[in-house]
Amino acid sequence: MTEADDPFLRAAKARGLILPGPLADFHSGAGARSFAGQCDITRGRGALVGLLLRLGGFPPAGQGIAIRLEMRTVSGLTQWRRDFGGDATVSSLRFDARRRAVVEGFGPFRVTMVPDIDDQGLTLAISRIAVLGLPLPRWIAPKSSTREGVDEAGRIRFDVSAALPVLGVLIRYRGWLVPE
């Protein structure tokens, strides 16, 4: 994977943003890359939340879970495979030039995320979500406060969350990664 391939770097550049060095390094590089670390996962409650998370391929809740992230480009798409202690979540990501955003696909869901940079690192806001190709109205679409940063030890920190207006928290996972 190179800067030209990574959808996050392309979306940031299209918006006139420059990722800080360690985050730019995390998102760039040649070929397949892998990272390992640890995270905590919180899932929302209820049958509908459980169904939505199952359809998206998201992991069960837990604390101190070993995580491994593999990033690779396959047929023009960037694929992220997250292994949460034996439970895999796979997504495909691409750069949407028209929206200057990243589109990530999980099962039947396509989530469009707009990057921004602040003194803490990279933030991603959901601007659009489609299910089976049909866009959801904004009032029912999940909200996210996803962030990537770097801690004092040089580890990549992540805090990924999604919540629905009426149902509340869908999922939140946060932790750290280092190159393998």
Average pLDDT over every residue of 50-77? 88
Asked if residue 144 is part of any domain, the answer here is yes
CATH assignment of the domain containing 12: 2.40.128
Q: Check residue 107 and give its pLDDT.
A: 85
Asked if residue 150 is part of any domain, the answer here is yes
For the chain, list the strands marked E by DSSP.
Answer: 33-43, 62-74, 77-84, 87-96, 101-106, 109-118, 121-131, 134-135, 146-150, 156-164, 168-179
Q: Check residue 68 and give its pLDDT.
A: 97
Q: Which of 6-15, 29-38, 120-129 has the lowest mean pLDDT?
A: 29-38
Asked if residue 2 is part of any domain, the answer here is no
Domain that holds residue 128: 7-179
Provide the percentage of residues in the chain whose pLDDT is more than 70. 94
Asked if residue 1 is part of any domain, the answer here is no
Reply yes or no on whether the pLDDT at 1 is more than 50.
no
Q: Check residue 30 and give its pLDDT.
A: 58
Distance CA 66, CA 75 (A): 29
Provide the percentage of residues in the chain whose pLDDT is more than 90. 59
70-98 per-position pLDDT tens digit: 998 766 678 999 999 999 999 999 999 99
14-51 per-position pLDDT tens digit: 999 988 888 888 988 656 789 999 999 999 999 989 99
Higher per-residue confidence, 162 vs 175? 175
Pure H helices in the chain: 7-14, 21-27, 47-56
Asked if residue 129 is part of any domain, the answer here is yes
Reply yes or no on whether the pLDDT at 3 is more than 70.
no
Asked if residue 160 is part of any domain, the answer here is yes
Average pLDDT over every residue of 158-165? 91
Under the banding of pLDDT at 50, 70 and 90, the label for residue 67 is very high
* Number of domain units in the chain: 1
**What contacts 99, CB < 8 A, 6 or more positions away?**
112, 114, 127, 128
Distance CA 12, CA 115 (A): 6
Q: Check residue 31 and give its pLDDT.
A: 64
Asked if residue 104 is part of any domain, the answer here is yes
Q: Check residue 165 and give its pLDDT.
A: 85
Q: Check residue 104 and give its pLDDT.
A: 93
What Å distances lie between residue 124 and 41, 50, 128, 156, 180, CA to CA? 19, 24, 12, 15, 25
